[in-house]
Amino acid sequence: MRRLTKLSAVAAVAALALAGCGGSDSKGGGGDKPAAGDDVCKTADGDGPKIGLAYDVGGRGDRSFNDSAYAGLEKAVGEFDATCIEGEATDGEAESAREDRLRNMAENGATAIVGVGFAYSESVNAVAPDFPEVNFAVIDGFDPDDQANENVAYLGFAEQEGSFLVGVAAAEKSKSGTIGFVGGVNNELIQKFEAGYTAGAKAAKPDIKVEVAYIQESDLKGFGDPAGGKAAAAGEFDKGADVVYHAAGGSGSGVFDAAVEAGEGNWAIGVDSDQYLTATAEQKPFILTSMLKRVDVATYDFAKSVDAGKPLTSFVTYDLKQDGVGYSTANKTAIDGLTTTIDDYKAKIIAGDIKVPTKP
């Protein structure tokens, strides 16, 4: 009997661990997946190119990265009379699983395959040489070895430029003269967001004070920790900040909650996708704007280049000029008075009059 309880305890731990692996699937913020019927790949039957879209963990319905890529795909399918094929990653999957996913798409006739997220860099690098007639793209990707691939495009974003614009918005909106930044993990990528944001704020109001906090120094859990996000943001609101921008993925909902608790006159700024559209009714009024990383633009753009017979290759950076980054005006009442100022700065960046730093 005692052995049974002991064993059951371990089994429960193991089951929890397995469940824990699956748990982070929901980092999109509790949204239900769109019904299968919405899937454009089920209905598309044109004779244009066949586009493969390999999602990162979370898949379609994450209201972020993956959904944004899907939006670009939908647009491309409509415009180029294309068909498509999708594949979804599971948490903790093997490198070989990603490779297999890409190979499956290529074997099923896809001619343009997009890996959503840098985790596909290695697998695309391994698969691409076997399918020279297929064009690959990796969002945020990189080439892991010295041999350049003729048929792979690495689609990056000028996050600092988008962050610059929301930095301007924050500084303009702030009444207290202090604003905040919450990063998920203190690494080079997120530092780019911080640098642009601070630069934008200082450009608009040179004497503005920026409080900076990172949820985790290195653990990627910082992107999936709403409680940590809330604690970090609440600390900044306590120090007098009245606008807080987050670059913390799934932890962002905690930042929004902190703004809600700080009360009227306090704001939060979203990231990657237009988070005003996906936030809860309670959070919505507090979301000033979002820094948009237009994965949809990049996806669409890549599909377009393949359709046109001039496929993108090598490194491509989507910046303000290409509309690859931007800011959202969905919360009209909040942002309305600021758009002229922000758009001024936008024009200056596009013209090259302002160089946005990438390191804080």
Rg (the chain; Cα; Å) = 21
> Which range of residues in 15-23, 245-253, 266-274, 328-336 is near another protein by CB under 8 A?
15-23
Question: Rounded to the nearest whole angstrom, what is the least distance from the CB of residue 341 to another protein in the complex?
Answer: 31
**Interacting span for another protein (CB under 8 A) from 117-125, 200-208, 235-243, 249-257:** 117-125
227 binds another protein (CB under 8 A): no
Instruction: List the structure tokens of 246.
Output: 């987050």
Positions in 181-220 near another protein (CB under 8 A): 185-189, 216-220
Binds another protein (CB under 8 A): choice among 67, 74, 140, 236: 140
Counting contacts by CB under 8 A, is residue 108 touching another protein?
yes
Between CA 303 and CA 322 the distance in angstroms is 15
Q: Tell me what percent of the chain is helix, strand and coil, each rounded to the nearest 5.
A: 50, 20, 30
Per-residue interface string for the shown chain with another protein, residues 236-255, x marking contact by CB under 8 A: --------------------
Phi then psi for residue 116, to 5 deg, are -90, 110
* Of 4, 332, 13, 319, residue with least CA distance to 165: 319
**Residue 18 or 308: which CB sits closer to another protein?**
18
Find out whether 290 and 275 touch, Cβ atoms under 8 Å.
yes
Q: Which of 31, 34, 92, 357 binds another protein (CB under 8 A)?
A: 92
Question: What is d(CA 25, CA 14) in angstroms, rounded to the nearest whole number?
Answer: 18
Size of the site for another protein (CB under 8 A): 62
Tell which phi-psi region holds residue 253, choosing left (phi > 0), alpha (psi between -120 and 50) or beta: alpha
Residue placing its CB nearer to another protein in the complex, 189 or 231: 189
- Rounded to 10 degrees, the C-alpha dihedral 324/49/132/54 comes to 60
If one asks whether residue 94 binds another protein (CB under 8 A), the answer comes out as yes
- Token code pair at residue 175: 């009444």
Site residues (CB under 8 A) for another protein? 4, 6-8, 10-15, 17-22, 25, 36, 59, 85-88, 90-97, 99-101, 103-104, 108, 118-119, 121-122, 126, 130, 140-145, 154, 156, 185-189, 216-221
